[in-house]
Amino acid sequence: MLPHRHRSDLLEKLELQPLPFDNKWTGKIAYLDRDGVLNVGSKSYINDTDEVIILPEAGRCVGELRRAGFRICICTNQSPIDRGWWNHNRLAKIHDYIQDKLLDEDDDALLDLILYSPYHPISNAFARKGNPGMLQAGRQILEAAHKGIELDDSNFTYNHEYSSFDESTSVMVGDRYVDMVAASNHSVHGIQVKGEIGILDAIDEILDNRGNI
Specify the pairing of strand 71-77 against strand 29-32.
parallel
Residue 175: what pLDDT?
98
Contact 77, 35 (CB under 8 A): no
CB atoms within 10 A of CB 51: 13
Q: 51-65: per-residue pLDDT in tens?
A: 999 999 999 999 999
- Domain range for residue 190? 26-208
Residue 17 lies in a domain: no
- pTM, two decimal places: 0.97
Q: 43-102: per-residue pLDDT in tens?
A: 999 999 999 999 999 999 999 999 999 999 999 999 999 999 999 999 999 999 999 999
Residue 65 lies in a domain: yes
Q: How would residue 209 be classed by pLDDT, with cut points 50, 70 and 90?
A: confident
Q: Does position 203 have pLDDT exceeding 70, yes or no?
A: yes
The Cα–Cα gap between 133 and 126 comes to 5
CB atoms within 10 A of CB 10: 15
Chain centroid to CA 16: how far? 15
Three-state DSSP class for 118?
Answer: coil
Residue 3 lies in a domain: no
Determine phi and psi for 201, rounding to 5 degrees: -70, -15
Stated as kind and residue range, the H or E segment containing 58 is: helix 58-67
Strands (E), the chain: 4-5, 29-32, 71-77, 113-117, 171-174, 189-192
The Cα–Cα gap between 129 and 93 comes to 22
Q: Does position 213 have pLDDT exceeding 80, yes or no?
A: no
Residue 180 lies in a domain: yes
Residue 18 lies in a domain: no
Give how many domains the chain has, as a whole number. Answer: 1
Contact 103, 58 (CB under 8 A): no
Residue 45 lies in a domain: yes
Chain centroid to CA 156: how far? 18
CATH number at residue 104: 3.40.50.1000
Specify the pairing of strand 4-5 against strand 113-117.
antiparallel
